Chains A and B, each alone.
Chain A
Amino acid sequence: MQPFLKVDQVTKRFHKVVANDRVSFDVMPGEIHCLLGENGAGKSTIAECIYGFYKPDEGTITVQGNPAGLTSPRDAIARGIGMVHQHFVLVSSMTVLENIVIGTDAARPILDLKAAAARIREIGRRYDVDIDLEARIWQLPVGQQQWVEILKALFQGARLLIMDEPTAVLTPQEARRLFQIFREMTADGLSVILISHKFDDVMQSDRVTVLRRAKVIGTVNTRETTKEALTNMMVGRSVELRVKRDEHPRGAPVLEVRDLRAANDFGTEKLSGIDLTVHRGEIVGIAGVAGNGQGELFEALIGARKTRGGSIRLDGADITGRSPAEIQRMGMGYIPDDRFADGLVGDYDIQSNLILGHHRREPFARRGLLQFRAIRDFARKAIEELEIKAPSETTRTRSLSGGNAQKVIVAREFAQATKVILANQPSRGLDVGVIEYMHERLLEKRRNDFGILLASEELDELLGLADRIVVIFKGRILGEFAAGTADIERIGLLMAGQETAGKAEEIS
């Protein structure tokens, strides 16, 4: 059988950086083909080449035996290649139908929405996707917005669908539903390129092509391989996938949140009465789909977001309504989810970012003046200790990789915090090695009797690290599980808001 897509010796450079180095693989009709690799391994670059967004410097991309010569996504779509990006490109105030038809050939000056709708319904029936075409995008859950993107690609005649990290925003149940849809599609001869680093996704593909440092390490049949073997290929060494969480007695409550209420910047209530306790020497995990109030919760806890009700106590002291400066002085540290937007001053160098928050204090400042020698010494020590890869302490943090940027934040927060560490998605977008390191450091802080509140979209991470897991949904805590009794199924249902799911074995 002829492959639908053949990528042959494709090289793509950005200035001096080689993003793809003679990458070759092919995708058969009816295949789910996974591209696996760490951040920066070149997965997205090769995908954007196939989608016509980048032009390869060398090599060829062949579609159904013909050199594609793609110069734009329009070309790719014309040749039956569709792509669903991680961040959806939908107009939230418009209907599903309008979003699907927009920008396609059906969008002639006079729209024939009726005919388009009929065709879309037909596609939907075929792949068992049931969606209200008249619903507005903002009314739909994230999982269904993704269907809209998929329908749009199919409507445009896609025979190959590139899915970039499709399950990142889904509950386990939604992810399972998505793979069902993929299977319906592949049964019909369509192909899927799946970009992912989640092994739950990877293991459901037919073949896996592993990329490391811009090169293809190999393509293997999924059935004939294991997580461990794939990790080995991906990282180039064997990695302990499960962190070792030794028994550690928990102490007194150090962070107590009672009936906390807060709104987002637009005044919409995002926290509707959060109750939460973190003890010394304990990691409490927050599971939940992004956007269910995690960001608002953390901002409220560090004093950067006004609360509308409820209370927060840090080591017994009421910190409700206190300023971020006061709360940090009392021992709270925060690792935000968006490193560059919330955690770092990108145009400041590493040393300046490392003192942020302690910049008025001895030894970094004396009589109002910054003490650059002390600052430099501190920075050099941190860079060495955390193995931050940077030319020097005066390197701008903007130019750091995600992992090294995260290490700068971790170094700072761990040096400043004395009682509680808040971590929102601390391993998002990081390489396995850095994630491993993060986990070790968090566990070390747990041993040192810190209370740790950890939010993550990766359930495996929570199951591995947390002593207790709570599920957040629409600004409420829906259930609580002790480490041993946690069950992915029930957590997943709670993440989708099905309140009854966790009740049976909920502990208090």
Chain B
Amino acid sequence: MGLRLEPRLAPSARWQAVSVAVALLAALAVSALLLESAGTDVGVAFAAILDGAFGGLRTTAKTLAKATPMILTGLAITVAFRAKVWNIGAEGQLFAGAMASYWLYTLTGPALGMALLPLLFAAGFVGGGLYGGLAGWLRSAFRVNEVLTTVMLNYVILYLLSFLLVGPWRDQSSFYQQSERIDRAAWLPDLWAPGKLHLGFLVAILAAVAIHVVMNRSWFGYEVKAVGLNARAARFKGINVERTAVAVMVLSGGLAGLAGMIQVFGVNHRLESDISLGFGFTGIIIAVLAMLRPGWVVFVAILFGGFENGGIKMQVATGAPSAIVSAIEAITLLFFLTAAALTRFRIVWRST
């Protein structure tokens, strides 16, 4: 006797909608319990989260700015996971992109002004892309598991950053491990200054559109998905599975690298380890919740951006620790993953 999972023959759209709704409600309920147990007024807390996230134009703009790097890392993961290449290293690739663009900036200085921006974007993409490509190449050439390499490369790049920030790139005037402040001339221009919404958001949206087109309209995306769905059949029909994996890691790393560059030149305005609050890892959650669809990645990332801002507001309003917000995010993820599994399988009680 026992519980077994049996695949559903045809997951219906209605069932999918129902399960997502149920997951959302269940996540809310459990989150409410958590807040309650922390001695927080649940109603006040939820209202504060909502208000802090989307309560007005300015807060919404701030939420979009917060979401920007997560859109890009979410897209990075989406591309990789579509090919069943398990890139857990978007965090490291983000830093690689940030460092590459900062390196270019140290070479040119701010003199070029706006003309420098495209170059900085390119540097961010190339830096992250090369770093991701390294793991892809190790996988394809030597069959090294990319989960291990990408995770370990996260540490490698962080220590390299640490070394550079106490060495050649150190801000001599500061006690902290950080670079000098970037000249205002090289900052990403604001889209809407009061909301601190910068050009990076537009770039992230454009990237989402581009990835959508690549994945769904181009032969490259067709090959990526074919490799992910059935690598054997893809290989038999002439698709170079190894080369595709490398290309996917370059693209994935490049997107994460863009996020790093955007944080340095749009938000922090200097190179420091604080440019990422684990966006590379949050990207995994976002991509999975978005079921690896670029359009949904944007949506989910904005929700997560809202959570970040709303969490701060909730903390102020109720005194509950902001860690609860992370817990709520995790709870939501668990329920959604369960819902996703239940749309494809059903639980059967059978005696054996």
Smallest Cβ distance from B238 to chain A, in angstroms? 3
Most chain A CB within 10 A, of B9, B213, B219, B229, is at B219
Q: Mark A316-331, 1 if CB is under 8 A from B, else 0.
A: 0000000111101100
Q: How far is the CA of A324 from the CA of B9 in the complex (A)?
A: 33
Is B223 in contact with chain A by the CB < 8 A criterion?
Answer: yes
**Measured between C-beta atoms, what is the minimum distance from B343 to chain A in Å?**
14
Q: Which of A72, A326, A344 contacts B233 (CB 8 A)?
A: A344
Partner of B351 from A71, A357, A365, A369 at Cβ < 8 Å = A71
Question: Which residue of chain A has its CB nearest to the CB of B234?
Answer: A345
Interface size for A (C-beta < 8 A) is 33
A-B Cβ contacts below 8 A, count = 72
Would B235 and A345 count as touching, CB distance under 8 A? no
Asked whether A347 lies within 8 Å of B222 as measured between CB atoms, the reply is: no
Instruction: List 17 contacting pairs A-B, 8 Å CB cutoff, sorted by A.
Output: A71-B351, A299-B236, A302-B236, A324-B238, A325-B238, A325-B240, A326-B238, A341-B232, A345-B229, A345-B233, A346-B229, A357-B238, A360-B219, A368-B219, A369-B213, A369-B217, A369-B219
Per the bound structure, the CA–CA distance linking A352 and B234 in Å amounts to 12
Q: Ordered nearest first, which 7 A-B pairs have the shortest CB separation?
A: A325-B238, A357-B237, A345-B230, A324-B238, A356-B237, A365-B219, A347-B229
Inter-chain contact B229/A359, CB cutoff 8 Å: no
Residues from chain B with Cβ under 8 Å of A299 in the complex: 236
Q: Is A399 an interface residue (CB 8 A)?
A: yes
B299 to chain A: which residues have CB within 8 Å?
none
Contact in complex: B237, A324 (CB < 8 Å): yes
Partner of B238, one of A323, A342, A352: A323
Asked if A334 is at the interface of the complex by the 8 Å CB criterion, the answer is yes
> Distance (Å) between the CB of B295 and the closest chain A CB?
18
State the A residues within 8 Å of B (CB): 15, 71-72, 299, 302, 304, 323-326, 328-329, 334, 336, 341-348, 352, 356-357, 359-360, 364-365, 368-370, 399
Q: How far is the CB of B346 from chain A (nearest CB, A)?
A: 11
- The smallest beta-carbon distance between A93 and chain B, in angstroms, is 25
Q: Contact size class for B?
A: 20 to 34
Given contacts A344-B230, A345-B230, A347-B230, 8 further A-B contacts (CB under 8 A): A326-B238, A343-B236, A346-B229, A346-B230, A348-B229, A359-B222, A370-B218, A370-B222
Main secondary structure of the interface of A (DSSP, over half): loop
Q: 0/1 per residue, B340-352, Cβ < 8 Å to A?
A: 0000000000011
Which residues does chain B contribute within 8 Å of A356, judged by CB atoms? Answer: 226, 233-234, 237
The reply to whether B351 and A359 form a contact with Cβ atoms under 8 Å apart is no
Q: Mark B219-256, 1 if CB is under 8 A from A, else 0.
A: 11011011001101111111110000000000000000
CA distance A475 to B237 in the complex (A): 24
Known: A72-B351, A370-B218, A399-B10. A324 touches B235 (CB 8 A): yes
Name the B residues within 8 Å of A334 (CB-CB): 236
* Closest CB in chain B relative to A240 CB, distance in Å: 33
Residue of B nearest to A356 (CB): B237
- Pick from A329, A341, A352, A399: contact of B222, CB under 8 Å: A352
**Interface residue from A15, A328, A364, A370 paired with B9 (Cβ < 8 Å):** A15
Residue of B nearest to A360 (CB): B219
**Contacting residues, chain A, for B213 (C-beta < 8 A):** 369
Give every chain B residue within 8 A of A368 (Cβ-Cβ): 218-220
**Alpha-carbon separation in the docked complex, A369 to B237 (Å):** 19
A342 touches B232 (CB 8 A): yes
> Which A residues lie within 8 Å of B10 (CB)?
399
Which A residues are in CB contact (< 8 Å) with B240? 323, 325
Cβ of B219 and Cβ of A370 under 8 Å apart?
Answer: yes
Q: Which of A342, A347, A365, A399 contacts B236, CB < 8 Å?
A: A342
C-alpha gap A370/B215 in the complex (Å): 11
Question: Would A72 and B222 be within 8 Å (CB), given that A323-B240, A324-B236, A356-B233 are in contact?
Answer: no
A-contact 0/1 string along B190-232, CB 8 Å cutoff: 0000000000000000000000010001111011011001101
Q: In the docked arrangement, what's the CA distance between A302 and B213, Å?
A: 32
Measured in the bound complex, the distance between the Cα atoms of B229 and A341 in whole Å is: 10
**Is there an interface contact between A328 and B237, defined as CB atoms closer than 8 Å?**
yes
Nearest B-chain residue to A302, judged by Cβ: B236
Closest-CB distance, B281 to chain A (whole angstroms): 27
Complex contacts, A71 vs chain B, CB 8 Å? 351
- A232 and B4 alpha carbons, distance in the complex (Å): 41
- State which residues 127-147 of B face A: CB under 8 Å: none
User: Is the Cβ of B238 less than 8 Å from the Cβ of A343?
Assistant: no
Q: Do A328 and B232 touch (CB < 8 A)?
A: no
For the complex, what is the distance from the CA of A328 to the CA of B235, rounded to whole Å? 12
Which of chain B's residues have a CB closer than 8 A to the CB of A345?
226, 229-230, 233-234
Which residues on the B side are within 8 Å of A326 (C-beta)? 238
User: CA of A323 to CA of B10 in the docked complex: distance in angstroms?
Assistant: 37
- A341 and B237 CA atoms in complex are apart in Å by 12
Write out the residue numbers on chain A whose beta carbons fall within 8 Å of the beta carbon of B234.
Answer: 345, 356
CB <8 Å contact, A348 and B238 = no
Q: Which of B218, B226, B233 contacts A341 (CB 8 A)?
A: B233
- What distance in Å separates the Cβ of B250 from its nearest Cβ neighbour in chain A? 16
Cα distance A344–B213 when bound, in Å? 24
B residues less than 8 Å from A370 (CB atoms): 217-219, 222
Q: In the assembly, what is the distance between CA of A220 and CA of B250, in Å?
A: 66
Select from chain A the residue with minimum beta-carbon distance to B226: A345
Assembly CA distance A346 to B223 (angstroms) = 14
* Alpha-carbon distance between A264 and B282 when the two chains are bound, in angstroms: 41
Q: How far is the CB of B79 from chain A (nearest CB, A)?
A: 16
Given contacts A71-B351, A345-B226, A348-B226, contact A336 B236 (CB under 8 A): yes
User: Are B219 and A304 touching (Cβ within 8 A)?
Assistant: no
Query: In the complex the two chains form, what is the Cα distance from A368 to B210 in whole Å?
Result: 13
- A273 vs chain B, min Cβ distance (A): 24
Is A359 touching B219 in the complex (CB atoms < 8 A)? yes
B222 / chain A contacts, CB cutoff of 8 Å: 352, 359, 370
Inter-chain contacts of A343 with B (CB < 8 A): 233, 236
Instruction: Determine the chain B residues whose CB is within 8 A of the CB of A347 once the complex forms.
Output: 229-230
A172 CB → nearest B CB, Å: 31
Residues of A within 8 A of B9 (CB): 15, 399
Inside 8 A of A328's CB, which chain B residues have their CB? 237-238
| Contact present for B229 and A342 (CB under 8 Å) | no
Return the CB mask of B147-187 against A: 1 if under 8 Å, else 0: 00000000000000000000000000000000000000000
Which residues on the B side are within 8 Å of A365 (C-beta)?
Answer: 218-219
Within 8 A of A (CB), among B1-19: 9-10
Question: Which of chain A's residues have a CB closer than 8 A to the CB of B225?
Answer: 348
- List of A residues within 8 angstroms of B220 by Cβ: 368
Residues in A whose Cβ lies below 8 Å from that of B223 = 359
Most buried by B among A302, A352, A359: A359
Residue of B9, B230, B234 ringed by the most chain A CB atoms within 10 A? B230
Query: Which residue of B has the minimal Cβ distance to A298?
Result: B236
Q: Which residue of B lies closest to A352 (CB)?
A: B222
Report the bound CA distance from A234 to B229 in whole Å: 37
A57: shortest Cβ distance to chain B, in Å? 15
Shortest beta-carbon distance from A307 to chain B in Å? 16
Question: B237 contacts which chain A residues (CB < 8 A)?
Answer: 324, 328, 356-357
